[in-house]
Structure 1
Amino acid sequence: MGNPAGLPSIYADKPIELALAKVITSFPVNTFLENLAIPAAGYAYAPDGTIFVTNHEVGEIVRITLDGNQQIHASVEGKVSGLAFTANGGLIATGWNADSIPVVSLIASDGTVETLLTLPEAIFLNGITPLSGTQYLTADSYRGAIWLIDIAQRRGSIWLEHSMLARSNSENVIPAANGLKRFGDFLYVSNTEKMLLLRIPVGIGNEPGEPEIFVEQTNIDDFAFDVEGSLYGATHIYNSVVRIASDRSTTIIAQAESGVIGSTAVAFGQSEDDCTAIYVVTNGGMFLPPPTGVVPANVVRLEVGKAGYPLARE
């Protein structure tokens, strides 16, 4: 697959089994697509196959159909990072407001944006995932913490703050705790700066246990699980997508020529004829440009042959 200049060769000895790839749509060079959410089949407010994508730098949530049509669904005054669905068909998003204060926003099905809460004690809210009911967990990439967000109570509190979620160097701009998803009784979290994939037990009251290292030397941004427990991760500056099986083995399933330069996040398709595919969003290499320079940001479909794990669907 090649290794971007100056980076550790952490995937050099990993097997390659490239999935069938198709670029669904592209955005102009220097567009930072950060996250995506795909509604369940039969979603009342959009046809099956619709993808909602965060355009980080400009604070937009873009609605994309499988024929590549793009439409701005909502705009926030600031930047937008993580994205997940709410029970009533809306969206919850993390980011910063116009004053650079971390904020959690609610987006109604018609695109209306409402500030749910500001979190001035947070630093960099990133990936977000459902926990239970009206509760969500969101990673704070620079504080080294995970916040519990209750959209019914309109309240945010620290769920877990831990050295394993933090950066090894507070001057490093690479996010630490980044993507997070629950599978069974564990919450999995990527610490991108430390190149770790972590696993945190979740108790019967949804309280956190002690984090442990699940996989070392892997550069994961955001990710999704299939029903068998395999994790599909965007490697961002490594310009690839990897599959990490439940036995912790890694296989490369997409690389630069698949259209995933600067891959940032992954989500499973939800419709009956699309549930064995993942969708990947990219930034075209903005953080670490390839030798040819930054390329257009893509939304790429990869056929992986397994359906997504329900609790990981977003």
Structure 2
Amino acid sequence: MGNSAGLPPIYADTQIELVPAKVITSFPVNTFLENLAMPAAGYAYAPDGTIFVSNHEIGKIVRITPDGNQQIYATVEGKVSGLAFTTNGDLVTTGWNADSIPVVSLVKSDGTVERLLTLPDAIFLNGITPLSDTQYLTADSYRGAIWLIDIAQPRGSIWLEHPMLARSSSENVTPAANGLKRFGGFLYVSNTEKMLLLRIPLGIGDEPGEPEIFVEQTNIDDFAFDVEGNLYGATHIYNSVVRIASDRSTTIIAQAEDGVICSTAVAFGQGKGDVYDGLCLRTAILYVVTNGGMSLPPPTGVVPANVVRLEVGKTGYPLT
């Protein structure tokens, strides 16, 4: 992974263990794929392996089937950033309306869009993740805060506002608090502008504790956890995907040559299961979306935005 753009060499000495990678579909040059989500199994509108991707700049949510076929699933007025599925298969989205005011919307399984909330006190709603069946947390990348969204009410309120979630300067356009995911008793948050991966303890009633630095000098956009607690992160302008183990060690698992130029988000799917010695060994599949270098073009210029499939290992499940 080269550093020809003159970026800080934060991954120069990082171990590299590349995994099998395949581009499953591409979008035209200057398409900003921002996020992706995969529903639970069993929904007729989304056969197993279906991916939903946010095309940020034009407010489109695209449904991608396992063979790479693209279909417009929904159109959100303005721009769309984060995606998260509800327990009944609807999609919660963050973004801006046509007047650049932050909004939270609900996309039904038939693709219809319902405006849930307008949040004029927010600035830049970004990643979103479930906290409970009806409550979600979303990062506000420019306010330096995390909002609590209750889709049943619906209503929104500040869950945590903290200097560690904020930018170093309000003039810096790089997002601060960006991706966020819960694992165990913590909420993990990437502060991309400060190159930090943060960890926030969850107290009684999922109230936030004091943020702490989990990993520093790492450029993470959005990320996902596997069942063992390994974090897989899109490094955006560093044109790679990394795995951060629970001991905080980092390994590069995909590079620009694998199609992950300006990787923005990752999410887990599942591959084919094989039976071996009483276990179903299922290939763990990580999907990656990119913007092809729109944020920081490579020497060759901006390239098509990709959805990339990474095979990151095997997970065993007992046969029943």
Fold match by TM threshold 0.5: yes
**Would you say 1:276 and 2:292 are equivalent positions?**
no
**Would you say 1:232 and 2:232 are equivalent positions?**
yes
- Hey, what does 2:121 align to over in structure 1? 121
Whichever residue aligns with residue 295 of structure 1, its letter is V
Deviation at 1:3, TM superposition (A): 1.2
Q: Percent identity?
A: 86
Whichever residue aligns with residue 228 of structure 1, its letter is E
Pairing partner for 2:301 from 293, 299, 314: 293
Deviation at 1:264, TM superposition (A): 0.2
**Matches of 2:191 and 2:57 in 1, distance apart?**
22
**Matches of 1:145 and 1:77 in 2, distance apart?**
24
**Matches of 2:15 and 2:251 in 1, distance apart?**
5
Deviation at 1:41, TM superposition (A): 2.0
- Hey, what does 2:177 align to over in structure 1? 177
Whichever residue aligns with residue 279 of structure 1, its letter is Y
Change (3 A) 1:271 1:153: farther
- Hey, what does 1:87 align to over in structure 2? 87
Post-superposition CA distance 1:242-276 (Å, at most 9, x none): 00000000000000001000100000004664760
**Matches of 1:42 and 1:30 in 2, distance apart?**
34
Deviation at 1:204, TM superposition (A): 2.4
Correspondence list, 1:30-69, <5 A = 30-69=30-69
8 A Cα contact 2:139 2:180, kept in partner: yes
Q: Which has the higher strand share?
A: 2
Whichever residue aligns with residue 290 of structure 1, its letter is P
Higher relative contact order (CA 8 A, sep 6+): 1
Change (3 A) 1:307 1:157: farther
**Matches of 2:314 and 2:223 in 1, distance apart?**
15
**Matches of 1:158 and 1:167 in 2, distance apart?**
17
8 A Cα contact 1:259 1:300, kept in partner: yes
**Matches of 1:192 and 1:122 in 2, distance apart?**
18
- Hey, what does 2:96 align to over in structure 1? 96
- Hey, what does 1:200 align to over in structure 2? 200
Whichever residue aligns with residue 55 of structure 1, its letter is N
8 A Cα contact 2:126 2:178, kept in partner: yes
- Match of 1:269, SS state, is strand
Whose Rg is larger? 2
Unaligned runs of 5+ in 2: 274-281
**Would you say 1:302 and 2:307 are equivalent positions?**
no
Deviation at 1:42, TM superposition (A): 2.0
- Hey, what does 2:277 align to over in structure 1? none
Whichever residue aligns with residue 294 of structure 1, its letter is V
Q: Which stretches of structure 1, 4 residues or more, deviate above 3 A after TM superposition?
A: 270-275
TM-score (norm 1): 0.96
Change (3 A) 1:44 1:254: same
TM-score (norm 2): 0.94
- Match of 1:164, SS state, is helix
**Would you say 1:186 and 2:194 are equivalent positions?**
no
Deviation at 1:5, TM superposition (A): 1.3
**Matches of 2:228 and 2:32 in 1, distance apart?**
31
Whichever residue aligns with residue 39 of structure 1, its letter is P
- Hey, what does 1:249 align to over in structure 2? 249
Paired positions, count: 308
8 A Cα contact 1:260 1:281, kept in partner: yes
- Match of 1:276, SS state, is strand
